[in-house]
Amino acid sequence: MAKVAVVGVVGRTNAGKSTLVNALVGEKVSIVSPVEQTTRNTIRGIVSDTRGQLVLLDTPGLHKAVGDLGRLMNRMARRSAAGTDITCVVFDASDEPQLEDVGWMQRVAKEKPEKVLFVLNKADKAPFYEKMFHDAWEEALSLAPPSEEEKSFAGPLWVKSISTTEGGAKDVLDFLFDFAEEGELLFDEDTVTDYPRKLAIADSIREKFLAKMHQEIPHELGIIVKSIDESASQEKPVWKITVDVLVNRPSQKPIVIGKAAQTIKYVRKLAEREVSEMFGVKAHIELWVRVEPGWMKNQRILSDMGYMGDLV
Ligand SMILES: Nc1nc2c(ncn2[C@@H]2O[C@H](COP(=O)(O)OP(=O)(O)OP(=O)(O)O)[C@@H](O)[C@H]2O)c(=O)[nH]1
Ligand SMILES: [Mg+2]
């Protein structure tokens, strides 16, 4: 029998959750960027090795919610933490504990789940605030001391991680497998994610834009893959992918397109390359930039982007 567990990967935005999930899976299943609120959906990354299988739920980082999209993302993160076998809270320990970090600690202290891993991420950076995080945990626990029945609560296991380097998250993987219990595999051993391909392509495109954008635009940029037309060629299948790029205000359109269409060309080229590799096809991507005021509040559009569906 194999060891199996469903792991909720949670923590504040930019802590490195998606980077960690990719490192554990050994393949890119979730987009990464230095911009806050990069992940908008719950994405399952699946790790299978000789020990068994871990299903990792990468979630949007908690943040001060603005608007419907922000509230939906926070709800997804909270819901994903519930109903899992293991909670893995990721902290960016190259920074002092922030409000959202303390919030997760207080939640763990209150609920006292049996299996919790606290990951102090970005251990390659200096300064590294390991002690401050331990102190913050002691304080959170002192606010919710265990009752008689909860005396067996062992507290979280702590582990350091450098999620950006090969092998830097090995200890995290070992701890998670130690926690896992015998059971049936939940997915085929070759599966690394079950994220729908339209959403994966939209995310790949959004990641390329994020690399070029600053400040407010990333949060008002939405990508919808409208259609994928498949045809055959001699070597590989050809996918013609039609995509809407939504912005919130007319002034954002020229920024997203870029001078002499440079930004959009850059995004298209990199996304075509990535999609080709991901799916083993030849990808042609057409990007149509549209001004859609208030799209972040439009339930139909949010649902097209997959942000409303059932999550766990
Ligand atoms: N130096 C260093 N940088 C890291 C490490 N892990 C992640 N990062 C960087 O931190 C930034 C944020 O990483 P993400 O994985 O997108 O963070 P996230 O927690 O998924 O963020 P949201 O999706 O917004 O909630 C990226 O620029 C990563 O390259 C690490 O171990 N060391
Ligand atoms: Mg993320």
Residue closest via CA to ligand 1's atom 9 equals: 16
For range 212-224, the mean pLDDT:
85
Residues 272-309 have pLDDT tens digits of: 999 999 999 999 999 999 999 999 999 999 988 988 75
Q: What is the pLDDT of residue 66?
A: 67
Question: For the chain, how many residues are written?
Answer: 312
Mutate which of 10, 17, 19, 208 to test ligand 1's pocket (most atoms within 8 Å of Cβ)? 19
* Distance, first Cα to last Cα, the chain: 24
Ligand 1 pocket: which of 9, 13, 14 to mutate (most atoms within 8 A of CB)? 14
* Cα–ligand 1 centroid distance for 33 (angstroms): 7
Q: Residue 114 C-alpha to ligand 2 middle, in angstroms? A: 25
**161 and 38 in a common domain:** yes
Residue 76 confidence (pLDDT) above 90? no
> Do 190 and 26 form a contact (C-beta atoms < 8 A)?
no
If one counts every other C-beta atom within 10 angstroms of the C-beta of residue 83, the result is 11
Give the pair of three-digit tokens for residue 52: 């068994």
Averaged over 154-172, what is the pLDDT?
96
Q: Is there a domain that residue 124 lies in? A: yes
> Residue 21: inside a domain, yes or no?
yes
Which residue reads 């320990």 in tokens? 93
Residue 110 shares a structural domain with residue 169:
yes
Please tell me whether residues 134 and 42 are part of one structural domain.
yes
- Residues 119-153: pLDDT tens digits? 999 999 999 999 999 999 999 999 999 999 888 88
78 and 220 fall within a common domain: no
State the DSSP code for 259. G
Assess whether 43 and 172 both reside in one domain. Answer: yes
Is residue 225 domain-shared with residue 257, that is, in the same domain?
yes
Same domain flag for 15 and 162: yes
Q: Is the pLDDT assigned to residue 311 strictly greater than 60? A: no
Domain count, the chain: 2
Same domain, residue pair 28 and 154: yes
What is the bridge-based pairing of β-strands 52-58 and 2-11? parallel
Determine what percent of the chain is predicted with pLDDT higher than 90.
78
Distance CA 117, CA 65 (A): 26
Cα 139 to middle of ligand 2, angstroms = 27
Q: What domain range includes position 270? A: 197-304
| 201 within some domain | yes
**CATH code at position 87:** 3.40.50.300
Q: Do 218 and 171 sit in the same domain of this protein? A: no
Residue 53 has pLDDT above 60, yes or no: yes
Residues 13 and 86 placed together within one structural domain of the fold:
yes
Indicate whether 310 belongs to any domain: no
CA distance 293 to 306: 19
- The pLDDT value recorded for residue 215 is 66
The domain spanning residue 214 has which CATH number?
A: 3.30.300.20
- The answer to the question of residue 191 being in a domain is no
Residue 237 lies in a domain: yes
**Whether pLDDT at 206 is above 70:** yes
Residue 289 lies in a domain: yes
Please say which residue of 117, 151, 183 terminates a domain: 183
Residue 175 sits in the same domain as residue 111: yes
Mean pLDDT of all residues in 188-208: 95
Average pLDDT over every residue of 184-209: 95
Residues 112 and 217 in one domain: no
Q: Do the domain assignments include residue 239?
A: yes
Query: How far apart (Å, rounded) are the C-alpha atoms in residues 22 and 9?
Result: 12
What's the 39 CA to ligand 2 centre distance in angstroms?
A: 4
The last residue of a domain, from among 137, 153, 183: 183
- Of the three residues 131, 150, 183, the one that is the final residue of a domain is 183
